[in-house]
Amino acid sequence: MIGSLCRQPAVLRLAGRSRPSGYFVQQLSQGGPSSSGEGNGSKEAVERLVRAHPVVVFMKGSPAQPQCGFSNAVVQILRLHGVNDYRAYDVLQDPDLRQGIKNYSNWPTIPQVYLNGEFVGGCDILLQMHQSGDLVEELKKLGIQSALLESEKDHDKK
């Protein structure tokens, strides 16, 4: 999906914090395997979560209350693009899932963003895609029109 996976540090500062609406936070059951006999961190369980929705975020905390700056930045980037309908999984609630998603993606850090079942990257990659315009294009492939395109249209009319 993206040619190179850059690991440069990234900080996103956006003015104003409004609570995103439409996202779905899944809190996985504590203390044991799922009903299928697989733990929440198993490859099969993670695969199901990754494919559960076109936009999936594994993060620390929830979109309403991110527990780290990088998770907050991912939420803010998605909000900036008007992406409020996504699945967010709080890895702090499930240590097995936290390790399982790292193993699944072979990526050592959280947050992790998946578009249409494909691993995109973490905060730094999403920020890079936002800055380059690639995120608008990837969202378009999912049938999601970025709110930034609406802003441009409104600006052009003035």
pLDDT per residue rounded down to tens, the chain (158 residues): 443 333 333 333 233 333 334 445 554 433 333 333 346 889 999 999 999 999 999 999 999 999 999 999 999 999 999 999 999 999 999 999 999 999 999 999 999 999 999 999 999 999 999 999 999 999 999 999 999 987 666 555 55
Rounded distance between C-alpha atoms, residue 56 and residue 113, angstroms: 6
Which domains does the chain show, CATH number per domain?
43-142 (3.40.30.10)
Classify strands 118-121 and 112-115 as parallel, antiparallel or unpaired. antiparallel
Where helices occur in 59-146 by DSSP H, the ranges are 69-80, 95-105, 123-132, 134-141
Peptide bond into 111 cis (omega under 30): yes
